[in-house]
Structure 1
Amino acid sequence: MAITTDRPRLTVPGPNPLPIFGRIAPLIGYVKDSITLSRCLFKKYGSVVSLVAGGGTNIYSSEDYCPGTVLAYGPENVRQVTTQHEVYHKYPLTGGLYRKRHESPRTETLKNFGVGLFGVNSTTHRQHRQLLMPAFHRQRIESYCDDIVTITQSALEQLSIGQSVNLCEVMRMLTLRVATKTLFGADIGDEGFKSARLLQEIGTLLGSPAIAILPFDVPGLPFHRLLSLMAQLDEQMRTLIRQKQAQGLDSKDVLSMLIQARDADSGLGLTENELLGHVSVIFAAGHETSANALTWTLFLLSQHPQVAADLLDELESVLQGAAPTVEKLQQLPLLDRVIKESLRILPPVPWNARVTSQPTSLGGYELPTGTEVFVSIYHTHHMPEIFPNPEKFAPQRWELKEPTMYEYNPFSAGSRICIGAPFALMEIKIVLAMLLTQYRLQYLSQQRLDRDALIVMAPKYGMQMLIHKQDRQFTQGVGKVRGNVCEMVELNN
C-alpha cells in the first residue's frame, strides 16, 4: 500500500536523485563548491531550479519540515525574495543546527550564536533593526575613521619588506582589530585573540560537511567540538556585556549603544540573550566579509597593473602622503569604482538565503511553506545582459553604469540590506588607500587559488603575497594564476 502525506512536494525542476547516494551527493556537492554546481543547474534548468527533483534536501532551514532547496538568480528573483519580507524569512547563521538548540544544556548556545537580525522576522525584525540603527548612523560611522586609520597603520607596520604573507590572515586580523575597537571600545588584546580564534574555528566547522552529516554531540565528532567552542565564546561575550552594563556609559562603541537602546513605544531594551545574538553576528560577519573583500580586491589589483597604477596616481594626488579622512575618501572616484567592481565580480557573500513562511511562487513555480531559497548574488552579478563581459575586471564600467539594487546587491537588498554596509565600505577604502600608498603586493604564482563559497566566499587555501615597498613595479607577479578563480574572472594567464 502506498504511503501518502498531506505535505506538498516541491515541483521545481531539477536533477533526479542518484540511485545509491540519493539526495546526499548534491548536498555535499553544494557545500563543496556551490558556484560550480549551481552554474551547471542554471544552465540546464533555468533561473529557478531545485537542488534535487522532488525536494527532500535541507541545507539552511531550521524548521521541522523543509520541502526542499531551491536555487535562483536574476534581478526579478532577487526583487521578489528581498522585498517580500513577510513571505521570505531569514534564520540564524547556524542554519539547520539551530533546531537542536533545545536538545540539551550544551546545545543551548545555539539559541544565541549567529542570531541577531538574521534570526528575527516581521515586527520583531523591524523593532530590533530600529534599536540598532543609531549605532550605524552616518555620523557615528564617520567617528570611527580615526580609529580605523590608527589600527591600519599599526597593522601595516608589522609587515616586512621581502616577506611572504598569507594575505587572508593579515586582512582577517586587521578587520578583527577594527571590529573589536568599534564594537567593544578596545583594540584587540589577549581576550580578543582568544575570541578571534574561537570565531575562526567555529566558522570553519560550520562549513564542514561532517557537521551536516553527523550532527551528534559525541566526543571526537566535529559537532561536539563546535558546541564546546560556542560555550567558550558565549561565556566570554556574556562577561564583556555585563562589564559594559555595570559601567552604564556610552563609551562610543556599538555595544554600549545597544545596551542603552530603548524602544520608543515600550521603553524596552534588548535582553542579554538578544545582545549576545547581535554581538556575535556583528563581530563574526562584520570582520570576515570585509577581510574577504579586501583580499579579493588586492588580488584583482595584483593582476591588473594599469588599474593599480591609475589608482595609486589618484591616491597620491588626493592624499599627498597623509592618512585618509572622511572628506578625502569622497574625492577618490577610482577607488570607489575599483571596490564596486571587485564586489561585483568576486562578492564576499555569494548567496542570499531565505525560507518561505507561506506558500508562494517564484519564477512561475509554486513553493510550499518551508522551502529554502538561495538567491545567487554571484550569478546575478555575472549576467552579461546586465554587465557586458561579466568576467572582465573593468572598474571603468561604473563611470556610466547605475544598476538597480536587484541587479547589483553585494550587501543584499530590500528591508534586510546589510545594516553595516556604509561602515564596511569606509573601512575597505581606508585600508586600501593606506596599504597601496605604502606597499606593493606581488602575487606568488606557485600557489593554487580556489574558492570556498558557502556562507562567505574566501580563498580556500589562503593567498600568498610578497611584500614590496611601493615601487610601482605592477607587472611583477601578473599571470600564471591556477585554480577555479580563473573561471570567475578573466586573467592574463
Structure 2
Amino acid sequence: MVATASVPKLTVPGPAVTTPLGRSLSAFRFATDSIGYSRQLFQAYGPLVSLVQGGGTHLYSPLPNCPGTVLAYGPELVRQVTSQHEVYHKHPLSGKMYRKRHLSERTEPLKHFAVGLFGVNNSAHTQQRRLVMPAFHKQRIESYRDDIVTITHAVLEQLPVGEVCDIAGVMRLLTMRVASQTLFGYDIGESNAGKLLQESLGMMAKPLMVLLPFDIPGLPYHRFLNLISQLDDEMRSLIARKLEQGSETPDVLSMLLSARDAENGLKLTEDELLGHAGVFFAAGHETSSNALTWTLFLLSQHPQVAADLLDELDSLLHGEAPTIEQLQQLPLLERAIKESMRVLSPVPWNGRVTSQDTTLGGYDLPAGTEVFVSIHQTHHMSEVYPQPEKFDPDRWITQEPTNFEYNPFSAGSRTCIGAAFAMMEIKLVLAILLQRYRLQLIPRLKVDGVGLIVMAPQGGMPVVVYPQDRNFAQGVGGVRGNVREMVELPQ
C-alpha cells in the first residue's frame, strides 16, 4: 500500500523502495520470516528500523490511516513502548479484519472475535483488566492443577511408543483441552467451541484471507465467516448454560460472568465476555503449546541438560506429578523453561499502534504508526546475555535481567494476565512427560520457526517416542533449518 500525501512519511531509516512492488515485497518477507528478515534489517540500520524507507506499509492496524511499520528492539525501546500505555495502543488480534465488523450481519462476530483485552486501551483497559483479574489470582490458578494433571495423563497415554508422532500437534491438543476445561468447564471432547476457535484462528494466517477478502463460497474468507458465526452460537449457548447453573462452577467463564467492578458495580457485556473468552482460549493454548514444543526440542539436543533435569525430577517426584508445593522445588526445570523462552521466544513480537504523535529512539513517529517490538531480538543481545545463541539454563543462577531485558510475557501494564497459569501448566506437563518418555528427533529434521503472533515449527515437530531410557545422546545433531540461526545446536 503506497503512502498518500495525507499520511505523514516516516523518517526512521530503512531499506529504500526500488520497484513498484517494493513495499509489498518487504511486507511479504517480514510476514513469512519475521525473525530472519528483521535480523538483517537490525544489523543494517540499528535497533529502530522502518520496514521500508519512508513508510507506507500497513500490516496490523485496523485504523484507516497508517504511516508505516517500524521494528524495534532493546531494553530502552521496550521500556518506552510498554510503559507508555496511553501512547502505544493495542488492537484486536484480527487486525485489519476488525474494520469489517459493521459491514453486514455476517461480519458482526468480528466485534468480539479475538478482541478481549487487546481491543481496549487507557481507562477502559484498566477497568476491563480489573474485572477479569480475579479469574487469575494465585489461589484460583492453583485450583486448576488437578485438571491439568488429569488431561496430561490422558493425552500422554495415547502417545505411540516406538513410532513417530508430531509432538507439536500433541502439545497443541493437550493445551487446547486444558484451556477448554479451565475456561469453559468442559474438556474439548464435550465442547465444540475449542475446535471452532482453533480453526478460526488458523484461518487468519492464510494469505488468501488478506488477498481475497470476499464472502464468496470456496474462498477462505467465506469459510472464516462461517466458522466465527458457528463459534458465536456455541459461545452464547455456553454462556446461557452457565447462567442457568448459577455460575458457581470453578472455570474462568463462570468467574467472568459473576465479575463486578468494586468501584462502580459494572459487569462485562456479552460482547466483552465473548471477546475475553476467545482471547484467553487462543493465548492459553497456542503460546503454551509452542513453549512446550520448543523446550522439548532444545532438551532433545542438549543431552546433559536433559539428564540433569531428569535427575532433579526423579529425586523429588519418583514418577509422580508435582504438587503445587513441589513445583517450587524444581529449580532446573524453572531455569530450562526460562532459557527456552529466551532463546526461542514463543511470542516473538509485541505489536502496538501509536495513538498520537510521539518520538521513539530519537525519531518522530506520527499517530497511527505500527510498532513491532522484537522480544526475540532483545533476548539475543550479547550485551545482556553473553553467548546469546547458547541454550544455557545455568545462566539464570546468577543472571537477573529486568522486565525490559527479558519479557516473554510482555512488560508494563499489559503484561500477560495468564503468565502464572502458563508457567504452572508448562512445568506440570514437562515434569510428567519427561519422567515417562524420551523424545528423539527424526534424523536430519528440518526445523523452521515461523509466525508473527506466535512462533511455531513449520510442519510440526516429528519425534520417535521411547519409554524414558536415559539414552539422551541418541538423535542429537543433524538438525537443519532456520532454527540454527537462532540457537547453537550440535552438528
TM-score range, shorter chain: over 0.9
> In 2, Cα distance between the equivalents of 1:121 and 1:231?
26
C-alpha separation in 2, matches of 1:142 and 1:71: 37
Task: Give the aligned residue type for 1:146.
Answer: D
C-alpha separation between the residues in 1 aligned to 2:217 and 2:26?
Answer: 28
CA distance in 2, matches of 1:294, 1:172: 9
Paired letter, 2:131 = L
Q: Work out the CA distance in 2 between the residues paired with 1:225 and 1:12.
A: 39
Q: In structure 2, what is the equivalent of residue 67 of structure 1?
A: 67
One-letter amino acid of the structure 1 residue matched with residue 61 of structure 2: S
Q: Is the 8 A contact 1:391 1:488 kept in 2?
A: yes
Alignment of 1:52-451 (within 5 A): 52-192=52-192, 195-451=193-449
Give distance in 2, aligned partners of 1:375 and 1:78.
7
The answer to whether the Cα contact below 8 Å between 2:61 and 2:96 also exists between their aligned partners in 1 is yes
Task: Pick which of 234-243 and 61-70 moved more.
Answer: 234-243
Shift of 1:454: 1.0
| Structure 1: stretches of 5+ with no match in the other structure | none
Deviates more, 1:154-163 or 1:296-305: 154-163
Measure how far apart 1:191 and its partner are: 3.0
Distance 1:445 1:196 in 2: 34
Q: After the TM superposition, which of the residue ranges 397-406 and 147-156 deviates more from structure 2?
A: 147-156
Cα shift readout 1:174-197 (whole Å, capped 9, x = no counterpart): 1111111111112222434xx343
What amino acid does structure 2 have at the position aligned with 1:153? H
Deviations 1:101-159 (A, max 9, x none): 11111111111111000000011100110011110000110111111111111111111
Question: What is the SS of the residue equivalent to 1:467?
Answer: strand
Of 468-477 and 99-108, deviating more is 99-108
> CA deviation digits over 1:430-457, x for unaligned, max 9?
0000000011011112432111121100
Question: Which AA in structure 2 matches 1:350?
Answer: P
Following the alignment from structure 1 to structure 2, what is the Cα–Cα distance between the partners of residues 352 and 71?
Answer: 10
Partner of 1:479: 477
Quick one: distance in 1 between partners of 2:485 and 2:412? 30
DSSP-derived class of the 1:441 partner:
strand
Q: Count matched residues.
A: 489
| Stretch deviating more after TM superposition (214-223 or 263-272) | 214-223
Which moved further from structure 2: 206-215 or 70-79? Answer: 206-215
Report SS of the residue matched to 2:191: helix
Segment drifting more, 349-358 vs 447-456: 447-456
Q: 1:64 to 1:6 in 2, by over 3 A?
A: closer
Structure-1 separation of matches of 2:119 and 2:173: 27
In 2, the alpha carbon distance for the partners of 1:310 and 1:199 equals 38
Query: How many Å apart are 1:248 and its aligned residue?
Result: 1.5
Distance in 2 between residues matched to 1:486 and 1:198, nearest whole Å = 34
**What is the deviation of 1:30?**
1.1
Maintained 8 Å contact 1:31/1:209: no
Q: CA RMSD in A?
A: 1.3
Deviation at 1:4, TM superposition (A): 8.3
Q: Distance in 1 between matches of 2:6 and 2:429?
A: 55
- On the 8 A contact 2:188/2:194 being kept in 1, the answer is no
Identity of aligned residues (%): 64
1:11–1:54 contact (8 Å) kept in structure 2: yes
Counterpart in the other structure of 2:36: 36
- Unaligned residue ranges in structure 2 (runs of 5+): none
The two structures have a TM-score, normalised by structure 1, of 0.97
Deviation of 1:6 (Å): 4.7
TM-score between both structures, scaled by the size of structure 2: 0.97
Residues in 2 aligned to 1:55 and 1:313: alpha-carbon distance in whole angstroms: 53
Counterpart for residue 50 of structure 1 = 50
Hey, what's the Cα distance between the residues in 1 that align with 2:97 and 2:297? 34
Question: Residue 453 of structure 1 aligns with which residue?
Answer: 451
Preserved CA contact (<8 Å) 1:352 1:377: yes
* Distance in 2, Cα, partners of 1:363 & 1:208: 34
C-alpha distance in 2, partners of 1:406/1:289?
A: 20
Taking the aligned partners of 1:66 and 1:102, their CA distance within structure 2 comes to 21
The amino acid across from 1:353 in the alignment is: G
CA distance in 1, matches of 2:195, 2:284: 15
Q: How many Å apart are 1:322 and its aligned residue? A: 2.2
CA contact (8 A) 1:309 1:474 kept: yes
Deviations 1:177-225, CA, capped at 9 Å, x for gaps: 1111111112222434xx3433333223212222222222233322222
Give distance in 2, aligned partners of 1:410 and 1:382: 12
1:101 partner SS: helix
CA distance in 2, matches of 1:226, 1:26: 27
Shift of 1:50: 0.6
User: Which stretch shifts more, 364-373 or 261-270?
Assistant: 261-270
Displacement of 1:260 = 0.3
Alpha-carbon deviation of 1:236? 1.0
Partner of 2:464: 466
Taking the aligned partners of 2:425 and 2:155, their CA distance within structure 1 comes to 14
